[in-house]
Structure 1
Amino acid sequence: MAGLNISFYGSSLVSAYWNGAATYYRGIIRALAARGHTVTFFEPDAWERQQHRDIADPDWARVVVYPNDEASARKALEQGRDADVIVKASGVGVFDSLLEAGVLEVRRSDAAVIFWDVDAPATLASMRENPGDTLRPLIPRFDYVLTYGGGDPVIGAYRAIGARDCIPIYNALDPETHHPVAPDKRFQADLSFMANRLPDREARVEQFFLNAAARLPERRFLLGGSGWGDKQMPSNVNYVGHVYTADHNAVNCSALAVLNVARDSMAAVGFSPATRVFEAAGAGACVITDAWEGVEQFLEPGTEILVAKDGAEVAALVDGLTPERSRRIGDAARRRMLDAHTYGHRAAEVESLLLTGTPAGKVPA
């Protein structure tokens, strides 16, 4: 089987700075490369991401960084036009409308063109609420809409606006980059949480993390991510700022438990596990997550993950968690990830879809 040549237009492959999709892109693309496909990733020099690179150009993808201007974006489209598959991801951050229309214009007649949505609730809300949204009339022209979460509500919403097909390709684990390591004193805590400060996340972080910290003043809490520097928080919270991906394993392996908090929109639609769930579980961490529909499709509550409905329940779980139980839950979660939820599994789904028109099975229950 000859490998496919894929042009991919996204936010950034080499920097996770203000770019939560970086881990997802890296996992999917590395796994596609391992299956014999060639990916060129086009990303703009924007949002200071190139100044905060956390990986060098990888050997499993060609990275093209183009200047942040319209002429350069159009040139990038021309450079990628001869691919067998052209992907436009959501949330590039600059010239999104130009790129969305452009990938459809430059495509070869026999090429597949994909809109890959890494924030479906936000994208769908924009198309629903903004009469001038430029993406909505283009959706029926894409061969596929892929999303990294959302389940039936997202699939139905995309089909309702004319998508030929909408298929979730969920977040997953890359065992080569997220795995157990020795604890690091810098990141020791009873509960750690990493996420950038965003408007539709902040209230839930206050409820599930800061409220829990206030309830357990004798316990240690660690907060990582950009934007929280001026946020009032309990004195037992250690704010460490942006955490580069090279330190994610150390953070996940240095706490009694690791917290996941979904953004408002992700929690509302369900079936949208964040990359941090897979990163932490892959490192063997005991994950505590806020409640959202579909969690059991990925990890079994009570044995592979702990689920809380509010900050009081988070505090109770942390207070009652022993190191032995934490280890059992973390080990069970890691086994489940390796068995069913690696990017190798996801890349097989994408490959089958592109070559046969049918994804290689659903996410295992």
Structure 2
Amino acid sequence: MKLVIFGLTVSSSWGNGHATLWRGLLKALAARGHDVVFFERDVPYYAMNRDLHALADGTLVLYPDWTENLPLARAHLADADAAMVTSYQADAVAATELVLQSSAAVRVFYDLDTPVTLDALQSGKDVAYVGPRGLADFDLVLSYTGGDALRQLRTRLGARRVAPLYGHVDPDVHRPVQAVEDFRADLSYLGTYAEDRQAALERLFIQAARRLPEQRFLIGGAQYPQEFPWANNIWFAKHLPPERHPAFFSASRFTLNVTRAAMARMGWCPSGRLFEAAACGCPVISDAWEGLDAFFRPGEEIVIARDTDDVVQAMRMPDAERGALARRARERTLDEHTSARRAAELEGLLDAAFGAAELADEAVEWGQATVAEG
């Protein structure tokens, strides 16, 4: 299968969660024999923080201007079996028009930001990556979020065939490694600053740090403002590329997962960081949201925290119990949440969409033949 993707970015992990996911998924698709071409607009902020310049098992097209990119995009779409547009793609509406006009057997939209999409619609805001016809013309709509989000993609955006394609991890990249002293922490948090995560981060991280001044807390990420409420026992590591995540997680006694507000409200939206940390053998403390227990068993594979007291209590967990929790989470992740597992799921979804498209074509041909004979 040849798959052409118009996405946000795979070349830079700075300030976004898409790139790491795509790297694992594209690698796994290539391992299954598929040919993948990824189109990404070459924007300055990703160019300045680029940590991948070519795909080892695919084709990366970095284009500065959509009009200039059209001939190459059309050429790749001409022999594509499937074509995909993703949320936050810089030229998503134009790419959608091109994909829908192409001869690709299956045209796909993948919303990696479904709660943000639906929240914007609820607020009456325009969604820059969705055209005036919504998602009605795509053969398949994939969502990073499950649960009720799937129904809303149908009712509010007209999606006809919807399925979840959740986050995942590449265990060749994210695995236990020797701890680095600079990353040593009793509790860590890795994530780009987001205002709608701040209240939960203050409750579950900042207040815990103030309650436990003798312990070391570490934040890793980008775009943190100067007025962030640091404490004397909170250290900071500026943006870390994916290859440094294992060292970060492997040096943490616990790591914290905090979900963006829209995603927490929607539920069924596991962050890739959950799977990364678990694959590295780091015990995870997470905020609570609907559907989390479908990915990890609370109390056995993950700790759920609703307030500061829950975090403080978890951090006092005996080492043997903490180690057992981490082992069970890693085993679950390697069994159910790898990039290879998601690639197989995507392949199955595309195959089913291919079959549906063929049946539709046969029905049209039969109808045309019936009319002709009549």
Partner Cα distance (1:72, 1:104) in 2: 19
| Identical-residue share of aligned pairs (%) | 35
User: In structure 2, what is the equivalent of residue 137 of structure 1?
Assistant: 133
1:183 to 179, 183, 187: 179
User: In structure 1, what is the equivalent of residue 147 of structure 2?
Assistant: 152
Partner Cα distance (1:218, 1:338) in 2: 35
Residue-by-residue CA offset, 1:59-105 (whole Å, 9 max, x unaligned): 212111001x342354453243221111101012x233222333223
- Runs of at least 5 residues in structure 1 that lack an aligned partner in the other structure: 360-365
2:67 to 68, 71, 91: 71
Pairwise CA distance, 1:126: 2.7
Pairwise CA distance, 1:152: 2.2
Partner Cα distance (2:216, 2:178) in 1: 19
Deviates more, 1:173-182 or 1:123-132: 123-132
* Residues 125, 218 of structure 1: alpha-carbon distance in 2 compared, 3 angstrom cutoff: same
Retained in 2: the 8 A contact 1:73–1:95? no
> What count of residue pairs does the alignment treat as equivalent?
350
The one-letter code matched in structure 2 to 1:116 is Y
Partner Cα distance (2:109, 2:244) in 1: 31
Which TM-score applies when normalising by structure 1? Answer: 0.91
1:301 to 280, 298, 301: 298
Pairwise CA distance, 1:229: 4.7
User: In structure 1, what is the equivalent of residue 108 of structure 2?
Assistant: 114
Pairwise CA distance, 1:309: 0.7
- Runs of at least 5 residues in structure 2 that lack an aligned partner in the other structure: 356-374
Retained in 1: the 8 A contact 2:147–2:267? no
Pairwise CA distance, 1:310: 1.9
User: In structure 2, what is the equivalent of residue 35 of structure 1?
Assistant: 32
Tell whether 2:205 aligns with 1:217: no
Tell whether 2:284 aligns with 1:265: no
Pairwise CA distance, 1:300: 0.9
Retained in 1: the 8 A contact 2:6–2:38? yes
* Residues 47, 212 of structure 1: alpha-carbon distance in 2 compared, 3 angstrom cutoff: farther
Partner Cα distance (1:22, 1:298) in 2: 22
* Residues 358, 185 of structure 1: alpha-carbon distance in 2 compared, 3 angstrom cutoff: farther
Structure 2 SS opposite 1:53: coil
1:343 to 336, 339, 342: 339
Alignment of 1:193-204 (within 5 A): 193-204=189-200
Which TM-score applies when normalising by structure 2? Answer: 0.89
Residue-by-residue CA offset, 1:103-162 (whole Å, 9 max, x unaligned): 223x11x5211110010011122334437555351311001110112x221111011132
Pairwise CA distance, 1:262: 0.2
Structure 2 SS opposite 1:49: helix
Structure 2 SS opposite 1:354: helix
Alignment of 1:32-111 (within 5 A): 32-67=29-64, 69-75=65-71, 77-82=73-78, 83-92=80-89, 94-105=90-101, 107-108=102-103, 110-111=104-105
* Residues 43, 118 of structure 1: alpha-carbon distance in 2 compared, 3 angstrom cutoff: same
Residue-by-residue CA offset, 1:14-42 (whole Å, 9 max, x unaligned): 21012211121112211111111110011
Larger radius of gyration: 2
Residue-by-residue CA offset, 1:215-257 (whole Å, 9 max, x unaligned): 1111100001111251121111001111121110001000100
